[in-house]
Amino acid sequence: MLFSNLSQALRQSWPRWVALSLPKKQRQGAIRLAVILVTTAALLGLRQVGAFARLELAALDALFRSRPPEEPDPRVLLVAIDEASIQTLQRWPWSDGIFADLVAKIAAGRPAAIGLDKYFDIPTGEGCQPLPAANCPDRQRLQQAINQAANVVAVSFLAIRPQDSAVPFPADFTNAWDGFSNLPIDGGGVVRRALLAADYGSFGLTLANLYLQHRGLGPYILEGDRLRSGTVAVPRFTANFGAYHQEDDAGYQTLIFFRGAGHLSANCRRRCPAGQN
């Protein structure tokens, strides 16, 4: 009780002591410093609980949009399924035979890897039926093109959230690599992060590892808590990374380094994630 009364008396007398013991200019400086410290502590506390998350993420988006466009990476060739090509063929979805021709033409250039960012869980073409499709010439041509290339990555989709519907990897693509296409989506439908690995590698990670293998370099593997290739480590996204607050960081995620608005608008017209325009 005595200690409590003494503590209360000190708190009440401290402002009076400061006023009497310090010159006027120093008192004003002390008051300004106290205001700054209290304000800073309040702002840091609010940021810690995620109060400014939306503003900070919006600022991040603005910075990416303001960056000058970069030249396309010469190691990557994007073959887009755009509105013009759909109108030229006058049909969608395209048959598996069309993709067989596409894979064969790309494979003739001897690339390090070929990525097919389209679901092929159901055979498509004249006479095709759901798997198994023994009497589907278009599907058989696609299987043959993939087998001959031997470096094709196709996509699946994982049912991570309760509302997700999984899209399985085509069981008849026996000589293709499987990479999932899931992307974490922030509030407002904006994609800022990539999910690189879960139970197995993502579409992008699998393509990157095939490229590294083609160059005689080591693949990205999980060492400890970091995805590494040699001395290069991919920064790992965590629940409170940057402006985020208690975000879902399951699997191995990383922030996407967008190459610039001009580059994105030229190459991702149909399938750019929200927020890249």
Dump pLDDT digits (tens) for 218-271.
999 999 889 999 999 999 999 988 888 888 999 999 999 887 554 433 333 333
Report yes or no: 256 and 194 within 8 Å, Cβ to Cβ: yes
- Return the percent helix, strand and coil in the chain, to nearest 5: 40, 15, 45
Predicted pLDDT at 160 = 86
DSSP structure class, residue 246: S
Residue 37, pLDDT > 80, answer: no
**Distances from the Cα of 258 to the Cα of 30, 192, 247, 276, angstroms:** 46, 9, 21, 8
Domain locations in the chain as residue ranges: 14-48, 53-73+183-277, 75-177
Give the count of beta carbons closer than 10 Å to the beta carbon of residue 120.
21
Q: What is the mean pLDDT of the chain?
A: 81
Q: What percent of the chain has pLDDT over 70?
A: 72
Predicted pLDDT at 42 = 55
Cα 63 vs. chain centroid, distance in angstroms?
17
Residue 40, pLDDT > 90, answer: no
In three state form, how does the secondary structure of 235-248 look? CCCCCCCCCCCCCC
User: How many Å is the Cα radius of gyration of the chain?
Assistant: 28
Calpha distance 180→171 (Å, rounded) = 14
DSSP structure class, residue 192: -
DSSP structure class, residue 222: E
Q: For the chain, give me the number of helices (H) and strands (E)?
A: 8, 8
**Which tokens in the block code for residue 79?**
């073959």
Report yes or no: 215 and 272 within 8 Å, Cβ to Cβ: no
For residue 103, which phi and psi values (nearest 5 degrees)? -60, -40
Q: How confident is the model at residue 38 (pLDDT cuts 50, 70, 90)?
A: low
Residue 206, pLDDT > 50, answer: yes
State pLDDT tens for residues 122-143.
Answer: 888 877 766 555 678 899 999 9
State pLDDT tens for residues 46-77.
Answer: 455 455 567 888 888 888 888 888 888 889 99
Q: How confident is the model at residue 173 (pLDDT cuts 50, 70, 90)?
A: very high
For residue 267, which phi and psi values (nearest 5 degrees)? -120, -10
Calpha distance 153→172 (Å, rounded) = 13
- Continuous H helices in 49-81: 53-66
